[in-house]
Structure 1
Amino acid sequence: MELRQFEYFVAVAEELGFGRAAERLHVVQPAVSKQVARLERELGVRLFDRSTRHVRLSAAGERLLPEVRAALAAAANVGRIAADIGGGQDAVLRLGTSQGLGDRLDEILLHLAAVLPRLQVRLSSLPLSDRLSAVRTGELDAAFVRIVEHSPGVELLPLWTEPLHVVLPAAHPLAGFATLAIEQIAPLPLRLAPRAVNPAFHDLIVNAITASGHEPVLGAPFTNLQDTLAQIATGPASWSVLYGAATAQLPTARIAHRRLAAPRPTTSLAVLPGPPSAAVRALLGACAAITG
């Protein structure tokens, strides 16, 4: 049994719904369902009575809920003690980062510094595959990754989901919408970086367009932000996709950015399987604190 399974069980019990629990935990609903089902198998009891209309605690779930809450409280206390111990040492956290984290990364690091003031955080910006490989070999203690659901030899802990933003000409009629569905924008040429640069992101967008019933129309490739925005603003109508944090400093005279209804990629923390170090546990706590 894992503490994450206990946390998901408590969230579903309190929200009385897997979808609402997933929103509260900032993960996708299948992840919650999977972990609760695994916990039921390991305990050998049914924790919830499920129907198309409701989710309710079973008799076994009612009995076990207080014990699970007590176990989580005890684990949190262990984490606090370990963090205090780690804070008394000149520990180092080697952390892989991803583009587009924006202010969220700053907030996480500030919270982490408040918890472990003597912790030295060394950031490494690497391509996705290199980040995962560095975690696998122990060169990194943890790394932020997006869209990845499985990676051999690495445990992926979901942290949050976030919307993407469509970037399009400000004069285009679709710029009048606050939120766009993928099928609305799909007929226009899409500017994406070549798949080899970021296969996971490329496939996420292309597959979403295909699932909406449209054939992807790939325009000129995304080169760099400045040049691509200039070409979107002045050339024939086209669009691109950015993470929300990347839109904060966009020029607004001839460019508009609008929230994309779906897909919503998940950001996870890649770590080695097994008990986390005090620094990694504090990092997880910081992530939870700034995402609510």
Structure 2
Amino acid sequence: MELRPVRYFVAIADAGSVTAAAAALHLTQPSMSRQVHQLERQLGIELFVRDRGPFRLSAAGSEFLPVARRLLAQAEAAWETARAIAAGRLRRLTISAPGTTLTDVVAPFLATLTADDPMPAVWEEVPASVYATLGRGADLAIGTTPWPSDLEGMPLAELPVWAYVPPADRWAGRETVAVDELVTRTLLLQTRDFHPRRALDQALAAAGLAYGKFHEFAAAEVAQAVAASGRGVAVVSDDPRFDLRPVAIQGVRISLYAAWEPHHHGAATLKSIAERLRSFCAGRYGLR
């Protein structure tokens, strides 16, 4: 179906006559009438009542009019989207990241976006497959390992891993703790599926140290809850909960990277957003 006759039909319905619609659109009355007759033949219905009375929509025309309006609105939206794509603009932005990164990094960053930025959406994805989401519809992926060579990307931050203790704990007033001190305490760790645990494992191996007493948890929130009860020191990268006090573990960091497809129509915008996210992380954590 051609949109021009549909547009003329709506214009006539709004103007109340072919003569008024033709004048508004700077067309001749016969030309507009032919277009509308062609639309009626194509649809197999009469859109207007043509008798000696006042010019008016037929019952079929009245029923078809809202459909025609929606069709024109959708067509205009499609053209606007195409124009935005051609200009390299993003109307929507889908970011994929691991759960903790979404909660503690991406979500707070999204709160800084403005009305001029793309409308955001997020996907939670396990670290091992986060970059693969770029082939499934995500625009920007945030990972904890360097991006694959076929993608564009940049480092975002080196985020701290925290030792969380209750306010009354002897470490509550400290800013940092060394790993050799850490292993003297009862530790509340995430399993090895999570990056904070793997980062701590690597730091201990590099220092020639071994764990003392520890307990494992699948959820960082649970580790913090148990720490709040005074049962040990929670080692996680999440933001603090339960009034716990964060103590940075020296030499234990989680790297964050942003990646996007190099041929994405909005690659320049994605790079700009990644740069803003990097600056946000620097301000939030004081680290790069």
TM-score (norm 1): 0.56
Deviates more, 1:211-220 or 1:262-271: 211-220
1:202 maps to 2:201: no
For residues 162 and 204 of structure 1, what CA distance do their matches in structure 2 show? Answer: 11
| Compared CA separation, residues 171 and 109, structure 1 to 2 (3 A) | closer
Q: Give SS of 1:187's match.
A: coil
Q: 2:185 aligns with which of 179, 185, 188?
A: 188
The residue aligned with 1:267 is 256
C-alpha deviation, 1:193, in angstroms: 2.3
Work out the CA distance in 2 between the residues paired with 1:232 and 1:142: 35
Query: 1:95 and 1:233, CA in 2 relative to 1: closer, same or farther beyond 3 A?
Result: closer
Q: What residue in structure 2 maps to residue 7 of structure 1?
A: none
Residue 134 of structure 1 is matched in structure 2 by 133
Unaligned runs of 5+ in 2: 1-83, 284-288
Query: 2:165: which partner in 1?
Result: 168
Q: Distance in 2 between matches of 1:138 and 1:233?
A: 40
Task: Give the structure 2 partner of residue 251 of structure 1.
Answer: 242
Alignment match, 2:124: 125
Q: Which structure 2 residues correspond to residues 40-79 of structure 1 after superposition, within 5 A?
A: none
Aligned residues: 197
Q: CA deviation at 1:268?
A: 0.9
Relative contact order (C-alpha < 8 Å, sep 6+): which is higher? Answer: 1
Q: CA deviation at 1:206?
A: 0.7
Q: 1:283 to 1:84 in 2, by over 3 A?
A: farther
Secondary structure of the structure 1 residue equivalent to 2:273: helix
Q: Indicate how the Cα distance of structure 1 residues 283 and 150 shifts in structure 2: closer, same or farther if over 3 A, else same.
A: closer
Distance 1:84 1:111 in 2: 27
**How big is the shift at 1:164?**
2.3
Tell me the CA shift for residue 139 of structure 1.
Answer: 2.7
Q: Does 1:240 align with 2:234?
A: yes
Structure 1: which 5+ runs fail to align? 1-81
Q: Does 1:279 align with 2:277?
A: no
SS of equivalent residue, structure 2 residue 185: coil
> Cα–Cα, structure 1 residues 284 and 226, in superposed 2: closer, same or farther, change >3 Å?
closer
Rg larger in structure: 2
Alignment deviations for residues 123-165 of structure 1 (CA, whole Å, 9 cap, x no partner): 1111112312212x2432211122x135464444101223222
% same residue? 18
Alpha-carbon distance change, 239 to 105 in structure 1, aligned in 2, over 3 angstroms: same
2:166/2:245 contact within 8 Å kept = yes
Q: Give the C-alpha shift of residue 230 in structure 1.
A: 3.5
Distance 1:177 1:234, change over 3 A: same
Q: Which residue of 2 aligns with 1:91?
A: 91
